């Protein structure tokens, strides 16, 4: 089930990536709900996903807090 939550989180983040505010909000939710090893995995995925989306760079600061 936990893996399903991780995949669901990635799906949601992809869908809201058009809006940085929504993306940051969903990322905050994900960081509180996912397991620690999933947060590490999500961090890697986020950095790759946002590499060509400079408008989402502001949300990377949320990951650095963890």
Q: What are phi and psi of 51, to 5 degrees?
A: -60, -30
**DSSP strands (E only) in 1-66:** none
User: The pTM is what?
Assistant: 0.88
- Of 18, 52, 48, 45, give the one whose Cα is nearest residue 31: 45
Give the model's pLDDT for residue 3.
85
CB atoms under 10 Å from CB of 30, counted, come to 21
The Cα 23–Cα 16 span in angstroms is 6
User: What does the pLDDT average to over 2-26?
Assistant: 93
């Amino acid at each position: 089930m936990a893996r399903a939550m991780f995949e669901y989180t990635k799906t949601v983040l992809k869908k809201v990536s058009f809006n940085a505010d929504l993306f940051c909000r969903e990322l905050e939710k994900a960081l509180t709900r996912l397991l620690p090893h999933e947060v590490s995995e999500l961090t890697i995925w986020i950095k790759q996903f946002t590499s060509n989306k400079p408008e989402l760079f502001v949300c990377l600061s949320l990951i650095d807090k963890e």
